Amino acid sequence: MYFLLVEISHPIQCILISEEVPSISIILNERRSNSLKGYFLSKNDLKGSFYTHRPKREKPTSWSFENGGTKLNGEAILLKDKKIWHPYQKKIKSHEVNMVIFSGLSSKLSKITNNADLLKAASGFFKIGSGCYGGRINKI
């Protein structure tokens, strides 16, 4: 019950903004047991649901996208100032991560859309906003 009250009293909002096309963003606003859920926006036009999944021993950090019956997924590569972070290194702390690239997102989206700006954004880096904590939501 306490968890539910915290979620209601402190809404979460982690914003990832495309460095290539700043009008395209991913807003993660729901915490789940093993992922963050949100939506993919292009110029305030909802493109679909978007999820980021935490790494597990047997799987890397990943992403998934859903739009109607379409489901896409791939690996998410987290970075600090363009240096790759992974859970088995000690130089970069997870809370220092400030960028992400969604591997395969652009090529998979190209099968369902020909929106040049969306594909350009999906192929590049997304800056992780201040409401996030290394790809995770800041705890209040």
* 33-55 pLDDT, tens digit each: 788 899 998 887 888 999 999 88
Answer yes or no: is 99 within a domain. Answer: yes
Summarize the confidence of residues 107-114 as an average pLDDT: 92
User: Could you tell me which residues come within 8 angstroms of residue 17 by beta carbon, excluding any fewer than 6 positions away?
Assistant: 24, 25, 126, 127, 129
Name the band, by pLDDT with cuts 50, 70 and 90, for residue 31.
confident
Residue 26 pLDDT: 95
Answer yes or no: is 81 within a domain. Answer: yes
User: Could you tell me which residues come within 8 angstroms of residue 113 by beta carbon, excluding any fewer than 6 positions away?
Assistant: 47, 119
Q: What is the pLDDT of residues 62-107, one digit of tens each?
A: 999 999 889 999 999 999 998 998 888 889 888 889 999 999 999 9
Looking at residue 32, its amino acid is R
Across the strands, what pairs with 74?
A: 63
Q: What is the CA radius of gyration of the chain?
A: 15
For 65, the domain range is 2-132
Answer yes or no: is 138 within a domain. Answer: no
Q: Structural domain tally of the chain?
A: 1
Answer yes or no: is 137 within a domain. Answer: no
Q: What sign for the dihedral angle of Cα 122, 125, 129, 133?
A: positive
Residue 21 vs residues 18, 37, 93, 118, 137: alpha-carbon distances, Å? 5, 22, 28, 8, 23
Kindly report the number of other CB atoms within 10 A of residue 2's CB atom.
6
Answer yes or no: is 33 within a domain. Answer: yes
Sort strands 24-31 and 62-67 into parallel, antiparallel or unpaired.
unpaired
**Residue with more model confidence, 122 or 94:** 122
17/28 Cα distance (integer angstroms): 11
